Amino acid sequence: MSAGGLAVGGVLVVSWYAAGLPSIAYLQENYQPSLITKVYADNGQVMGQFYVERRILTQLDDIPRHFINAVIAVEDTRFFDHPGLDVWGIFRAAWANLKRGGKFQGASTITQQLARSLFLTPERTFRRKVRELILALKMELILTKKQILEMYLNQIYFGHGAYGVGTAASTYFGKGLDKLNLPESAFLAGLPKAPSTYSPYNNYERSKKRQRHVLDRMAQAGFISKTLAGAAAEIPLAFQRQSFKHVAPYFLEDVRQHMVREYGVTMAYKGGLQVLTTLNMPMQRLAERAIGKGLRALDKRQGWRGPLRHETSPVTRPKDPPDTFPEFGKIFEARVIGVSDREATVIAQNVLGTIALKDMRWARRRVPEGAASVIEATVFPLTSVTQFVRPGDVIEVSLKSKRNYKVRFRLDQTPVVEGALLAIDPRNGAVRAMVGGYNFERSQFNRAVLAVRQPGSAFKPMIYATALAQGMTPSSRILDAPVVYHDTETGKIWKPENYEKRFFGPLTLREALRHSRNAATVRLLDQTGIQAVIDFSRSLGIQSPLSADLPLALGSSGVTLKELTAAYGVFGNNGLALDPYTISTITDPGGRILEQHFFEPRQAISQETAYLMTDMLMDVIQHGTGRRARAIKHPLAGKTGTTNNYRDAWFVGYTPYLVTGVWVGFDSMNILGAVEPGSRAALPIWTEFMAGALKAFPAKPFTIPEGIRFAEIDQKTGAPVVKPNRRSITEVFAEDTIPRSPAPATADPLDFYEMDEAGI
């Protein structure tokens, strides 16, 4: 065949192999590898990452010269001289492969490796190799050597989830690129050839051998001297394995869902976005600790569910002393290996320890296997450890103490009850802490924002605030007495009762709310009007469906914790409502703002109504159902919530700086029990969190609006008092509602009242 024929044939072969290859023209201006999207807390601390490939885009000018030299020396010494393929390198590799009888491989230039990484599969075939060469030649025609090298160093995989040199430096050494020294650079440069093989965590000696090879190649290429190469190889490498742990998982998942919804999966996971959120890390840690502690305490009060299982296999006692100890505050499994009347000997996380009888006493209340409810728990006299555990039982424990290698555990159990906490700055709507459940790994359902549950008495402030907005005052009177409501359509009869199973006669609104009187609140709802309360609730931001019936007074309509917490925040923010938000700004890798939150406050209710409600809710904490919170030396306002069936327990309360809501209950709608109202199940969690969170704020009183007046009145009649006496009290009023003369009770004195259109 003639030379011309060979040329034509060669062109046809190349054309055949090049068919279907992607266009690479866009690389010159629009190279955009898959980047990490980083999520930051309000102080700029990274709290989460979304990615497909964990990569930090780095400019070539920011990469140390000795690292660039190390890569060139070990991967492609003639990089700056060849046009994309190294002919002499190919001949050398081919000869070596022929002698070994292997496939055609090796001698790939940096440009070829980049082409393969960007456009091709890693399969080792002749066809893939030819296509790789064609792409490399094209890339060299449209890109500069500097551009190719920068793309390569950002694209290649270094192992352990690290793509690109920027991520590799932090993954292996916990430092930025500018802090890398020569030995570290040589180590990293040797990884891309086989990241798993040369991982220091898999085989340290092999990784050191690879590092020495890179240093020797650098010396051969003239980048460093042989003496320096030898000295660098002897320097120990201090690895700091990075295992990034997401914090605030429920909050982070809420942010992720927003980003996927607004920008799509590709942008959220590959776009390298920078997401600044409202989360306060110290508050979040306090919230998670408070929820964990509170739910564990409640779960123990419910009763012990017994050993997890029984094992008969032989057990080996661990060596003494142990190298590591279990963490305080964690619950983990333990195997019982011996029992006596006074203690049990157990092995937990390969540590030998004991559980004293006194650290098992809570297990006297035990839930029988197969019981439908914790109410069926039975109380046993606990006089000996042998009553409840035996060798071979696997139980749950937590670390109590360790001293001189003597370890003591306490009997524990993972709660089955759930809870949620949400903390918002009422001044701007920023969500500062969010816990959506006991354990995100167990359940990703976010109860702080998604669960619609009956708020019980925690909804009552909506009724009382509506009455205040209509002109009533904290000293206005309502009757707390037996009443029967008859629904003529269904024929059902409803008789609201108080928690104490008795009634208290005429009460002021302040007294009725302070002690959460059900019958009085139902009468108040009837008087103010159901639709008026629904409209008022809507103005506070509650969007969940509300039933237009009198049981609404007792919180029969489900709402979310987010809705209720934000609504209380309106009371603490002088009547101004701001929608809760979690994201302050989102920017792209170039710094362009994609999203920014702007405050849009609205005057939802009057300042006077907001302050009157706050003053009454402060009384709930000082003298009512929220008394357990009095230990916090800040002005506080709040309300407990307990549903009639004891399936939900709430506490929502606030200061001028922070409004926090807590919900506790079972996902299965099981009963918490009559001994677990909001004041016992939810309030301790709220108090634990707020006591820590408010340390960052001065004790600031709530702002008193100009239209608020204080007046002395007779506590029995509500009439104004000229001269204070033993029967007089100081009450707060909106200026135009100060009583001028004794007022009659506003309550309906009838014990039976038929309604034509009321629901049940």
Pairing of strands 393-403, 309-310: antiparallel
Q: Which of 562, 710, 704 is nearest to 635 (CA)?
A: 704
Pairing of strands 274-277, 583-587: antiparallel
* Beta carbons of 671 and 417 less than 8 angstroms apart: no
Structure tokens at 75: 């991967």
What distance in Å separates the CA atoms of residue 58 and residue 188, rounded to the nearest whole number?
15
Nearest-5° Cα angle at 189, 184 to 195: 105
pTM: 0.83
> Which among 185, 199, 457, 539 is annotated as catalytic?
457
* Beta carbons of 398 and 410 less than 8 angstroms apart: yes
Distances (CA, A) of 688 to 266, 397, 430, 471, 738: 41, 23, 21, 37, 38
Query: H or E segment at 513?
Result: helix 509-514
What distance in Å separates the CA atoms of residue 441 and residue 93, rounded to the nearest whole number?
50
Q: Which residue has the tokens 């989460």?
A: 48
- Please indicate whether residue 75 is annotated as part of the active site: yes
Own/partner long-range contacts of 228-234 (Cβ < 8 Å, ≥24 apart): 228/182, 232/182, 232/183, 232/186, 233/183, 233/208
Q: Which residue has the tokens 């009198």?
A: 550
What distance in Å separates the CA atoms of residue 553 and residue 480, rounded to the nearest whole number?
14
Was domain 464-558+706-760 assigned CATH 3.40.50.1110?
no
Q: 142-168 b/e with 16+ CB inside 10 Å = b?
A: ebeeeebbbbbbbbbbbbbbbbbbbbb
What distance in Å separates the CA atoms of residue 260 and residue 50, rounded to the nearest whole number?
11
Q: 81-104 b/e with 16+ CB inside 10 Å = b?
A: ebebbbeebbeebeeeeeeeeeee
Look up residue 234 and give its amino acid. E
> Which among 34, 75, 199, 253 is annotated as catalytic?
75
Q: Which of 342, 759, 334 is nearest to 551 (CA)?
A: 759
Instruction: Specify the CATH number for 305-412; select among 3.40.50.2300, 3.30.390.50, 3.90.1300.10, 2.40.50.140.
Output: 2.40.50.140
pLDDT recorded at residue 161: 83
* Beta carbons of 242 and 171 less than 8 angstroms apart: yes
* Beta carbons of 582 and 279 less than 8 angstroms apart: yes
What distance in Å separates the CA atoms of residue 521 and residue 556, rounded to the nearest whole number?
13
* Beta carbons of 289 and 354 less than 8 angstroms apart: no
* Residue ranges of the chain whose pLDDT lies below 70: 1-32, 84-107, 117-132, 241-246, 319-320, 323, 369-377, 487-490, 674, 741-760
pLDDT recorded at residue 752: 32
Query: H or E segment at 365?
Result: strand 365-366
Query: H or E segment at 557?
Result: none
Q: Which residue has the tokens 């120990």?
A: 236
Nearest-5° Cα angle at 81, 114 to 186: 60
Q: Is 372 helix (H, G, I), strand (E, B) or coil?
A: coil
pLDDT recorded at residue 89: 60
Domain boundaries, the chain: 63-234, 305-412, 464-558+706-760
pLDDT recorded at residue 138: 76
Look up residue 741 and give its amino acid. S
What distance in Å separates the CA atoms of residue 445 and residue 450, rounded to the nearest whole number?
8
Q: What is the CATH number of domain 63-234?
A: 1.10.3810.10
Q: Is 263 helix (H, G, I), strand (E, B) or coil?
A: helix
* Beta carbons of 462 and 532 less than 8 angstroms apart: no
pLDDT recorded at residue 267: 92
